[in-house]
Amino acid sequence: MDLVLEIVGLIVIGFIAGSINTIAGGGSLLTLPILIFLGLPPNVANGTNRISILFQNIFTTAGFKSKGVITFPFSIYVGISALIGSLIGSQIAIDINGETFNKILAIIMVIIVFYMVFKPKTTIQNTLEKTSGKHLWISILLFFFVGIYGGFIQAGVGFIILLVLSSVNNLSLVKSNAVKVTVVLIYTFASVAIFAYNDKIDWQMGLTLAIGNAAGGWFASRWSVNKGDGLVRKFLIVMVVIMAIKLWFF
């Protein structure tokens, strides 16, 4: 493939994936196949994709902050827990084949979309955020396992994070997305370090893709805050269905 065409293509795909990742999740299910199609072995594609995720979430976190959506210190607590888990998941990902895991992910996505569709309406009594006490400790435990999954295969981790934050902590989807990008940013540092140490990153492709991801993340973070939970919920349901079908049948 022509080098200029490859660079432009990666930036465009990165922008789309960064936007998808920020609003809902599943953008890596677009970028990973592209990187493999361009000649990278699956485990190298998995590592290379982390570079774009890292830069995407730096800009996305800044985008949410610029709109006044602040998630600290809660996002730091669960982010550190996820980072510890990601050290385990990333090490597993160096050698393991993730084909069977894709089937499991498809099932998880179907569960999530049913939850999003049939979730009970909130009332004045249960709209309060639950980010302290036992709910904080439950989240810290759950995010350790989220980190293992995210370190192993990034694709779809956003759906799982949104499910935890909405069901355990009662956060709005916009606030959940802001927490999500901070958590992913924190644990991705560890993932990048492990993949880099094992020489499983193509830096040229990763940095090129990162340009698009960062731009998409910045745009989508600010846009989603303006549009509110309604649009985010619809987008999330559509993306869950599409990604579940792709994982199960293709």
Rounded distance between C-alpha atoms, residue 250 and residue 239, angstroms: 16
Q: Where are the domains of the chain?
A: 3-249
**214: number of Cβ within 10 Å:** 23
Return d(Cα 47, Cα 194) in angstroms, integer.
Answer: 9
Cα–Cα distances (Å) from 233 to 15, 38, 155, 216, 230, in that order, read 21, 33, 19, 19, 5
User: Phi and psi of 224, rounded to 5°?
Assistant: -65, -35
Q: How far apart are CA 39 and CA 56, in angstroms?
A: 23
CA–CA distance, 95 with 195 (Å, rounded to integer)? 11
- Return left, alpha or beta for 228; rule: phi > 0 is left, psi -120 to 50 is alpha, else beta: left
Distance CA 122, CA 170 (A): 9
Query: What's the CA gap between 39 and 166, in Å, rounded?
Result: 38
Q: What is the pLDDT of residue 163?
A: 86
For residue 149, the SS3 value is helix
- State pTM to two decimals: 0.81
Measured CA to CA in angstroms, residue 231 lies from 68, 122, 147, 225 at distances of 19, 17, 27, 10
Per-residue pLDDT tens listing for the chain (250 residues): 588 889 999 999 999 888 888 877 778 878 888 888 888 888 898 899 999 999 999 999 888 888 788 788 999 999 999 999 999 999 988 876 656 655 665 676 677 667 656 665 544 345 688 999 999 999 999 999 999 999 988 877 888 898 899 889 999 888 998 999 999 999 999 999 999 999 999 999 999 999 999 999 898 888 776 665 566 566 666 766 776 676 666 5
CB 188, CB 53: distance < 8 Å: yes
Q: Please, are residues 160 and 149 in contact by the beta-carbon 8 Å criterion?
A: yes
